[in-house]
Amino acid sequence: MMLLKDEVGMLRRVPLFSGVEPAKLKLLAFTSDRVSYSPGQILFNQGDEGDAAYVILSGTADILVDSETGQIKVAELEPNSIVGEIAILCDVSRTATVRAAGQLEALRIRKDHFLRLLKEFPEMTIEIVRVLADRLSHTTAELADARNSKH
């Protein structure tokens, strides 16, 4: 079993939480659920209600989106990354399915706790915007490549 101080140490390595003071990280670790997934297990499905965000502590996960020909892998999550925040921030259903690629450990942060953290720590909000902008930039580049390869 992992101790609270170990979880706080893991959270400090996540860029999103690096500016958050240890006492608040301890509270986050205490109020969040540590969850384990086996290879192939689903964290959430595209279309589900966005009730929590997940911080990947160890292992990797695939981000899959539905298409006419079935699910397509669009990205891979590595340790210290966050997923599921779009549904919380935009109050929309899940935009993708997330599936454990191997053994996976994550911290599940409930929507209300996540939103409270963003209010208390503007630097976290800035980091979230950075993460989302980076994803959008990659997606835009990939769309441009896909469009160019068709011509």
Query: First and final CA of the chain: distance in angstroms?
Result: 55
Helix or strand (DSSP H, E) at 7: helix 4-12
Q: How far apart are CA 76 and CA 138, in angstroms?
A: 13
Residue 26 pLDDT: 85
Arch. (CATH architecture) of 33-150: Sandwich (2.60)
Residue 103 pLDDT: 97
Residue 100 pLDDT: 98
Residue 139 pLDDT: 80
Cite the beta strand spans of the chain per DSSP E.
33-37, 42-44, 52-58, 61-67, 70-77, 82-83, 97-100, 104-110
The strand pairing partners of 63, in sequence order, are: 75, 98
Domain ranges of the chain: 33-150
Residue 3 pLDDT: 67
Please count the other Cβ atoms lying within 10 Å of the Cβ belonging to residue 28. 21
What pTM was computed for the model? 0.84
DSSP-derived letter for residue 126 is H
Q: Which of 96, 60, 91, 82 is nearest to 132 (CA)?
A: 82
Residue 12 pLDDT: 84
Q: Which of 57, 45, 73, 39 is nearest to 108 (CA)?
A: 57
Taking the chain (151 residues) in runs of 10, the rounded mean pLDDT of each run is 72 81 83 94 95 93 94 92 88 94 94 88 83 84 84 69
Token pair belonging to 25: 């990280």
Long-range CB contact pairs, 119-122, < 8 A, 24+: 120/24, 121/19, 121/20, 121/24
